[in-house]
């Protein structure tokens, strides 16, 4: 495992998991999106930008707190909410019930999907199952908070 | 640009007549007035339509000079048949994301037969099964409008806009699959198709009878499919089991592509011909009224509320309040997409925004979002 969920190392590990297993993503088809994941925590939020292209994850990079432009949409919530989601993934092999990213963003009370541009926001729907499969990759990692 | 004329040999000695005496044409070999040797390179995904949009082949004319089915970029004879196209301006159907969306659609096709875990369906309480079957009846009915509508207009579109027509072909396939998957779900778990009433039909007629393709696109892609997209997103709350959740998630991805095309088509049309905005507004003035009639139709609203409540017992304290939240999300998303398309509706719509508690600030912000 590559450390806690609020680290670049964790998302690097998810990217490696995706890139090592294209067979999981091929049935879903290619995806083109850039997502900012924001985890609120004491002492400063953790923000990481994850880029997807074709059947792979092509970039993971920590970004500053100013919401630098370039992402299609952002997924924002407290660290505890993200931790619960990844715990559910680890327990069941994939996100279940209220812990799918679509469920969480739909309710928006714990993790919300943000973006100024409806075209960017719609990519959350267009590539939703690819994003879910990427997050479900955590089932192959041991997860905890830093 | 290197043409075949400059790049070919004369090939002397070729016959001028076939063994049966028919005249032969060697122009394609001796030099056609088309570009030769562009050699597009495949990228990591393979050779995409974006990859081959190079040289003269990537130039999509604003107003093609002919109305034949000749492929764009070919050396077209003067005597080629006129196909009678009426949508001969790029602004009539183009969007800047249409080639990307075509590739996305091709790459993300799925099968309603194979990719849904039908074997995991379990028996549901009778009220929930009825509600699910009623929703599936409605969706089976309305999804095919998004196939019929492009089919009505595609044969009228100039063939030089082939990428837009190809994307609409994928939309037709998507909608066939949606009709298939909801029809299958209605029948697969011991239920069946239930009632079809006038509300949806009024909306469908409004869409299919739109006077122009751009008006039709506004009514279909922006209004109708945007509305259905949010129902699919709400599938997380509506679906009684993982089987239906899977159905809604897969349909959601398709529907979002169609909405993305429509939003950017309207943007393209308005950017290049601002006068078209008023005709779109007029269509949406009427369409919004019909959509509200559709959304509040007694059979639609009750089935959704029962599914959101998990049964009839909590339909009033849980189902209808959640349904109201869904409506707010639908209308907020719709109005934001209108802004993005360059169609500010906030000062024109008769949707009771205050009564519904819709916050207009994020909607206005969508109009100034950076293009992507």
Give the confidence band of A68 by pLDDT, cuts at 50, 70, 90: low
| Half-sphere exposure at residue B359, Cβ-oriented, CA atoms within 13 angstroms | 6
**Is residue B221 within 8 Å of B263, Cβ to Cβ?**
yes
The per-residue pLDDT for range B133-182, each reduced to its tens digit, is 999 999 999 999 999 999 999 999 999 999 999 999 999 999 999 999 99
User: Which pLDDT score is estimated for B4?
Assistant: 64
A56 CA to chain B: closest CA distance, Å?
10
* Sheet of strand A56-62: strand arrangement: A56-62, A46-54, A31-40, A73-78, A112-114
Average pLDDT across chain B, whole number: 93
Contact A118 B263 (CB under 8 A): yes
The per-residue pLDDT for range B292-328, each reduced to its tens digit, is 888 777 888 899 999 999 999 999 999 999 999 889 9
Contact B109 A29 (CB under 8 A): yes
A115 CA to chain B: closest CA distance, Å?
9
User: Is the whole-model pTM more than 0.80?
Assistant: yes
- B234, B260, B368 member nearest A126 (Cβ): B260
Say yes or no: B252 contacts chain A, CB-CB below 8 A.
yes
- B256, B369, B370 member nearest A126 (Cβ): B256
Contact B366 A125 (CB under 8 A): no
Nearest CA in chain A to B45: A54
A30 CA to chain B: closest CA distance, Å?
6
Give the confidence band of B117 by pLDDT, cuts at 50, 70, 90: very high
Contact B369 A116 (CB under 8 A): yes
């Amino acid at each position: 495992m590559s450390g806690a969920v609020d680290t670049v190392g964790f998302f690097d590990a998810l990217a490696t998991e995706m890139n090592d297993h294209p067979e999981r993503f091929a049935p879903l088809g290619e995806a083109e999106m850039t997502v900012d994941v924001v985890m609120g925590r004491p002492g400063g939020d953790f923000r990481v930008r994850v880029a997807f292209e074709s059947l792979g994850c092509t970039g993971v990079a920590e970004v500053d707190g100013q919401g630098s432009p370039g992402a299609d949409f952002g997924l924002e919530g407290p660290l505890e909410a993200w931790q619960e989601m990844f715990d559910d993934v680890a327990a069941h092999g994939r996100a279940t019930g209220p812990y799918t990213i679509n469920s969480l963003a739909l309710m928006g009370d714990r993790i919300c999907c943000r973006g100024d541009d409806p075209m960017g926001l719609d990519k959350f729907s267009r590539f939703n199952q690819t994003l879910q499969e990427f997050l479900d990759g955590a089932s192959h990692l041991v997860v905890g908070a830093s | 640009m290197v043409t075949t004329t400059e790049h070919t040999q004369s090939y002397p000695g070729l016959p001028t007549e076939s063994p049966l005496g028919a005249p032969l044409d060697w122009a394609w070999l001796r030099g056609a007035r088309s570009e030769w040797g562009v050699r597009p390179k495949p990228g990591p995904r393979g050779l995409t339509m974006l990859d081959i949009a190079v040289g003269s082949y990537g130039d999509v004319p604003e107003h093609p000079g002919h109305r034949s089915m000749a492929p764009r970029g070919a050396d077209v004879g003067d005597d080629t048949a006129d196909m009678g196209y009426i949508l001969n301006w790029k602004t009539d159907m183009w969007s800047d994301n249409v080639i990307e969306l075509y590739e996305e659609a091709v790459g993300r096709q799925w099968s309603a037969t194979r990719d849904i875990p039908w074997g995991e369906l379990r028996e549901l309480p009778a009220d929930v099964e009825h509600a699910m079957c009623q929703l599936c009846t409605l969706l089976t009915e309305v999804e095919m409008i998004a196939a019929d509508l492009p089919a009505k207009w595609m044969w009228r579109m100039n063939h030089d806009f082939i990428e837009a027509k190809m994307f609409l072909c994928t939309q037709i396939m998507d909608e066939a699959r949606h009709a298939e998957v909801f029809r299958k779900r209605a029948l697969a778990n011991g239920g069946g198709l239930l009632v079809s009433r006038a509300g949806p039909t009024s909306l469908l007629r409004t869409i299919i009878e739109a006077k122009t393709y751009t008006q039709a696109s506004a009514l279909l892609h922006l209004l109708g499919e945007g509305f259905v997209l949010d129902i699919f997103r709400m599938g997380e709350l509506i679906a009684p089991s993982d089987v239906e959740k899977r159905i809604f998630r897969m349909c959601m991805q398709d529907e979002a592509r169609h909405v993305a095309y429509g939003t950017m088509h309207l943007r393209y049309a308005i950017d290049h011909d601002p006068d078209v905005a008023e005709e779109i507004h007029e269509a949406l003035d009427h369409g919004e009224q019909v959509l509200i009639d559709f959304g509040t139709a007694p059979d639609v609203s009750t089935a959704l509320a029962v599914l959101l409540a998990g049964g009839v017992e909590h339909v009033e304290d849980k189902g209808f309040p959640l349904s109201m939240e869904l409506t707010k999300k639908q209308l907020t998303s719709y109005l934001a997409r209108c802004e993005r398309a360059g169609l500010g509706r906030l000062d024109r719509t008769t949707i009771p925004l205050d009564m519904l508690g819709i916050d207009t600030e994020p909607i206005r912000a969508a109009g100034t979002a950076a293009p992507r």
